[in-house]
Amino acid sequence: MSLSQTLLVALRSLRLNPMRSFLTMLGIVIGVASVVTVLAIGSGAQGRVAEQIRAVGANVLMINPGTAKKDGVRLKAGTRLTLTEGDVDAILAQVPQIRVAAGSLSGSAQIVRESRNWNTTVNGTTNGHFLVRDWTLKGGRTFNGTEQNTAAKVAILGTVVAKELFGRDNPVGAEVRIMSVPFEVIGVLDAKGPDQDDVVFVPLETAKLRFLGSASGVNRDAVAYIVAKAVSDEAMTRARTEIEELLRQRHRILEGQEDDFKVSDPAAAMDAQRGATRTIALLLTSVAGVSLLVGGISIMNIMTVTVTERTREIGIRRAVGARRTDIRLQFLAEALVLCLLGGLAGVVVGSAISLTVARSAGWATIIDAQAIILSVGFSALVGLFFGYYPAHKASRLDPVDALKME
């Protein structure tokens, strides 16, 4: 009997007991659906973290002010600005592992263009900020030296702000008002993600003079944070150590005293988050794999019972010329068809659950074709593995004894 005929006979046999067939493959459906859902959510989460790492930039160190204390109570980080432009210059001059660094001040402000307005983050910084973040321009240019030194009223817009204020019009050369001060738009940045693109950049000296200088308190040289880019990934650890030593020296922090700054590696933290997500996804996938194994065991049990019920049928087939191989292939085909149908149904259910989670909970999901193929292929292997014993048992029945069964 050909393979196609064997599969048709298997499908016909399964249709004789539709409810039993459905309940038998239910474990496979649940297992495959679980695998597809877990892998889709896990892949989406890892993809989101990868996007965040790319948005921050490669080999970036973030230097923030430390926590301050008032009346013995620790305040939140950044309450007292302890970093300065002098720290930026010292890092560039004395830490050879750092390629470029920039200090920044930031705050919220209303941006107005004719009848449109938008509340966003205004970041006062230097061109070094864009180099550290690997942030390219969609149009226009960055600040020139004169604009940075003379507190010029020029601005570079993120894509979200440009869209909200100008729609499809080109913002370069137009005028916007930031806290009632007119600014000329000289550039628009490429998109880095919604969380990154809702921002307006102005020269650091402009921010201090026009609207963010009061945030630095009595020290006009202060900045809210510093970003620095190492020359390579291998230089990150050494660069971080040297920056900490340099700033402790510059800030006159004695041995045993707590730092008034914090150096962090955002990409490393995000990568650790991605590793944790991968581990959780692996554990959940293992649990889903157990469901597949349980489904396989149930298939083996049901197929064994089926062999007993169809003993006379097997005897008749053997009597009219069916070989042991034909009997074995018939029952293997039934187990395989059960698992394949269950696997395909599980893919549909898992994809539906993943899309529902993505829409209702706002979680990123990626339905990977490789995950689908892997799940269906594994379910087929489960069918072959657990279906072999009942198929072999059926093929070993003696035709004479089988025909005597009622």
Which pLDDT tens digit goes with each residue over 272-322? 556 666 676 677 667 767 777 777 787 788 778 777 777 777 777 777 777
pLDDT band at 389 (very low <50, low <70, confident <90, very high): confident
What is the average per-residue pLDDT within 193-205?
A: 88
Query: Do 137 and 197 share a structural domain?
Result: yes
Phi, psi (5° rounding) for residue 126? -115, 175
Phi, psi (5° rounding) for residue 402? -65, -40
Q: Is 63 part of any domain?
A: no
Query: Do 119 and 23 share a structural domain?
Result: no
Asked which of 227, 259, 291 is the last residue of a domain, the reply is 259
Query: Do 8 and 90 share a structural domain?
Result: no
Query: Do 106 and 210 share a structural domain?
Result: yes
pLDDT at 129 over 80: yes
pTM for the full predicted model: 0.62
CB 328 within 8 A of CB 394: yes
pLDDT band at 25 (very low <50, low <70, confident <90, very high): confident
Query: Do 44 and 7 share a structural domain?
Result: yes
Per-residue model confidence (pLDDT) at position 90: 95
Query: Do 219 and 119 share a structural domain?
Result: yes
CB 390 within 8 A of CB 24: no
The DSSP line for 226-295 is EEEEESSSTTHHHHHHHHHHHHHHHTTPPTTSPPSEEEE-HHHHHHHHHHHHHHHHHHHHHHHHHHHHHH
Domain coverage including residue 211: 81-259
Query: Do 277 and 235 share a structural domain?
Result: no
Residue type, 5: Q
pLDDT at 73 over 60: no
Per-residue model confidence (pLDDT) at position 295: 76
Q: Is 70 part of any domain?
A: no
Q: Is 73 part of any domain?
A: no
Q: Is 126 part of any domain?
A: yes
Q: Is 75 part of any domain?
A: no
Query: Do 288 and 327 share a structural domain?
Result: yes
Give the Cα separation of 11 and 25 in Å (integer): 14
**What is the H or E stretch that residue 403 is in?**
helix 399-404
Query: Do 210 and 339 share a structural domain?
Result: no
Per-residue model confidence (pLDDT) at position 336: 83
Query: Do 147 and 191 share a structural domain?
Result: yes
Nearest to 13, CA basis, from 390, 377, 382: 390
Residues 6+ apart with CB under 8 A from 59: 229, 230, 231, 232, 233, 235, 236, 267
Q: Is 318 part of any domain?
A: yes
Query: Do 387 and 305 share a structural domain?
Result: yes
Q: Is 61 part of any domain?
A: no
Domain count, the chain: 2
| Region of poorest pLDDT, from 142-146, 239-243, 342-346 | 342-346
Asked which of 195, 225, 259 is the last residue of a domain, the reply is 259
Asked which of 233, 259, 285 is the last residue of a domain, the reply is 259
CB 64 within 8 A of CB 261: yes
Query: Do 211 and 295 share a structural domain?
Result: no
Q: Is 65 part of any domain?
A: no
Higher model confidence: residue 89 or residue 192?
89
